[in-house]
Amino acid sequence: MVKVVAAVMLVMLVMLQTAWAESVSPLEDAMRKDPDRFRVMAEDVIAGFGGPAGLTPAGIEEHVALERATARAGAMRRLLAMDLDNDGSVTRDELGVTLRAASATARGRLERQFTAADVDADNKINAAEMRSEGQAAALRALTDAEAAILRSLMTLDANQDGALAQEELRQALQRLDEVT
Ligand SMILES: [Ca+2]
Ligand SMILES: [Ca+2]
């Protein structure tokens, strides 16, 4: 009887531990994985996009949008630099001019990028295909998973005034430090 009870308790303990391990949020995971990197990132977002009371959900959305827009603009700029006649699209001929001027290593990469961007395979990257390329670069620069972690920063708003202050971030990281 004692053995059965002990076995049942052991099973329950294992189940409890599994549930606890699964309950660790992506935010907590990011905080634990590299606390220093996380602190610098979060401090920068609060400083750059927070108001007088701290970082709000609107500030987080601005940060996400700006990071993505920067990456998107970079990708589209590289494509537009090949649009020699300024008609808003890049043809294979225009690519050819860039390829002749490019280094041997860059050539393969440019070819690959052109083919990938030319979704309808008409040998021309039109404006819509350029924007798609830009959007793909934007989502690579700041993934949906990363955006979700940024949004969940608001769970660290300890006094629940709708803004995350540097002090609240500091305390959250300190709590984490004490637990581990
Ligand atoms: Ca063109
Ligand atoms: Ca095309």
pLDDT confidence band for 12 (50 / 70 / 90): low
Query: Averaged over 117-144, what is the pLDDT?
Result: 97
Whether pTM exceeds 0.95: no
pLDDT confidence band for 3 (50 / 70 / 90): confident
**Amino acid 106: pLDDT:** 92
Report how far ligand 2's centroid is from the alpha carbon of 72 (Å): 18
Report how far ligand 1's centroid is from the alpha carbon of 91 (Å): 6
With beta carbons less than 8 A apart as the criterion, state whether 141 and 134 touch. no
Ranges of each domain in the chain: 24-179
Measuring CA to CA, which residue among 114, 146, 149 is closest to residue 133? 114
**Amino acid 177: pLDDT:** 83
Note the ligand closest to the C-alpha atom of 124. Answer: 2
Query: Averaged over 37-56, what is the pLDDT?
Result: 95
Report how far ligand 1's centroid is from the alpha carbon of 104 (Å): 23
Which tens digits make up the pLDDT trace of 83-115?
A: 999 999 999 999 999 999 999 999 999 999 999
**Amino acid 7: pLDDT:** 72
Report how far ligand 2's centroid is from the alpha carbon of 67 (Å): 27
Per DSSP, the residues of the chain read -HHHHHHHHHHHHHHHHHHHHHH--HHHHHHHH-HHHHHHHHHHHHHHH-BTTBB-HHHHHHHHHHHHHHHHHHHHHHHHTT-TT-SS-EEHHHHHHHHHHS-HHHHHHHHHHHHHH-TT-SSEE-HHHHHHHHHHHHHHHS-HHHHHHHHGGGGG-TT-SS-B-HHHHHHHHHHHHHH-
How far, in Å, CA of 91 to CA of 77, rounded?
15
Report how far ligand 2's centroid is from the alpha carbon of 69 (Å): 23
